[in-house]
A and B are shown apart, each in its own frame.
Chain A
């Protein structure tokens, strides 16, 4: 018997429910501790970003119109899929860090799964907590309730690669927004594996798109893109934060840029992480009817 040749995985982008390579043909070399090449991942270009935003826009009507219960179930399903892929996800985190990071990686995956479950639970509850019944003078009911903002771009810090991504993404998705994730090229493999989780969790195509690439290259296009309604980012460089502010000033996006975050903390599990990407709608209804 000849010696078996390993079948190595090609890590690709996740756009509109499919796994394309970058249209630019570029890739990222992921190096291990010893400096050897552990894997190649796709390096997204601005055109990949454009495609992802179009897919997210197309998917918005269906996803925001689906029932809150269904969205919660699908997020929970994603947590289940992550649970089944715990070893693979931990391996993807460890690939660039060496074997002594295994325990830490396993802990990160467990926390990420729990965080997904947390926001799955919020899907059919945030509206009750953040909405209200307003007292008005007259024979009317007056309600305020929350609707999703639209297409939100999630910009992740390089570390922790999986936990930060899930923490920023899940609150955006659970309320009915669609998302385009930009995962940092410094550690792209967990994001690429998460695409497979999303693909097998009953999310409609385009609801969540995951790009791996250089935020320095892509974020200026995010900022100026008129069809992105919000940006959820954390720990970005001062230059990128400035680029975001310029874009927002011009085309008005809901934008939250977290400073330094303790990703393990329960502070990352809060309806106030959902609230920035909601639009409050108030309606009047005759009380006598």
Chain B
């Protein structure tokens, strides 16, 4: 349990993944019938878990300001059409050079967190000191969360210790002067990892490496709310249900063994409200019954431990909410661009 020496946990091998069963089980989650009030609350939950993302080379200051406005108030007509206000979303996710813009746009009393990709996103193919400096700057500019990419080249070449050490270094770089940590999300880029067995191994490796730094810093369970994340969104396939299920199982097993809680962020390819509900069903049926000391209900059914990395998903959720309320299909121009 908690407090056992880190080296002991590293000796635990990742269990093999049964591809057929994972595919079948992931497909099962798409067959639940969720209607009416349950659907509305599911959609609102998904909206609150959004990391509203823009990661384009053409991102400008004004584009990011617009994204921040959208994050704080996703729909200006919410009261008129729905009769209640929706939002804000969990976070905005941007490139490091735009973190300061977000901090300014969202203001000091913000309810929306700022997530920054870092460590030479999206490839990670930069010298380690450059990646660490990238991280430190984003944290210094005000990022609450750092989305790092692992070194897939090293991982696939079998240099797992090197990958783990890099994750530890990045997490150490997430430490602020006051000793607190910016929360880390480790992007595995599962689209490049070839097999579900490797997804599981990378998940376990990332989870353990992040916990190592918590041990160093003397942070007790449930630990820093760090995440593992599927994808950059730049590689196809991005998030899929089977991959997310394997990662959720790694999180579940880690919690069972250590009492520590790690978050999950599927990112890329989740565009429709229906898909988002499928993912929430999967979380509920994988981690829903797990109880953690200090939490009411399941921690993974809150934005603290589950996120969607997406941009177009936001408007599709709003569209569905409007349909459920009014019985009228909405037009694209009824919603602002993310």
Residues of chain A touching chain B, judged by Cβ–Cβ distance below 8 Å, are 50, 53, 57, 221, 224-227, 251
B329 touches A225 (CB 8 A): yes
B294-338 vs A, CB cutoff 8 Å, 1 = contact: the mask equals 000000000000000000000000000000000111111010000
CA distance A53 to B332 in the complex (A): 11
Note all chain A residues with C-beta closer than 8 A to B330.
226-227
CA distance A224 to B330 in the complex (A): 9
Q: How far is the CB of A244 from chain B (nearest CB, A)?
A: 14
20 chain-A/chain-B pairs, Cβ below 8 angstroms? A50-B329, A53-B329, A57-B332, A221-B329, A224-B327, A224-B328, A224-B329, A225-B328, A225-B329, A226-B328, A226-B329, A226-B330, A226-B331, A226-B334, A227-B329, A227-B330, A227-B331, A227-B332, A251-B328, A251-B331
Note all chain B residues with C-beta closer than 8 A to A53.
329
CA distance A192 to B333 in the complex (A): 32
**Size of interface on B: residues with Cβ below 8 Å to A:** 7
CA distance A251 to B332 in the complex (A): 13
Within 8 A of A (CB), among B32-88: none
- A222's nearest neighbour on chain B, judged by CB, is B329
CA distance A226 to B327 in the complex (A): 11
CA distance A102 to B334 in the complex (A): 49
Q: Which 9 A-B pairs have the closest CB atoms?
A: A227-B331, A226-B331, A224-B328, A225-B329, A226-B330, A50-B329, A227-B329, A226-B329, A226-B328
- A151's nearest neighbour on chain B, judged by CB, is B331
Note all chain B residues with C-beta closer than 8 A to A226.
328-331, 334
Note all chain B residues with C-beta closer than 8 A to A227.
329-332
Q: How far is the CB of B272 from chain A (nearest CB, A)?
A: 11
Note all chain B residues with C-beta closer than 8 A to A50.
329
- A225's nearest neighbour on chain B, judged by CB, is B329
Q: How far is the CB of A102 from chain B (nearest CB, A)?
A: 42
Within 8 A of A (CB), among B157-216: none
CA distance A50 to B22 in the complex (A): 32
CA distance A53 to B334 in the complex (A): 15
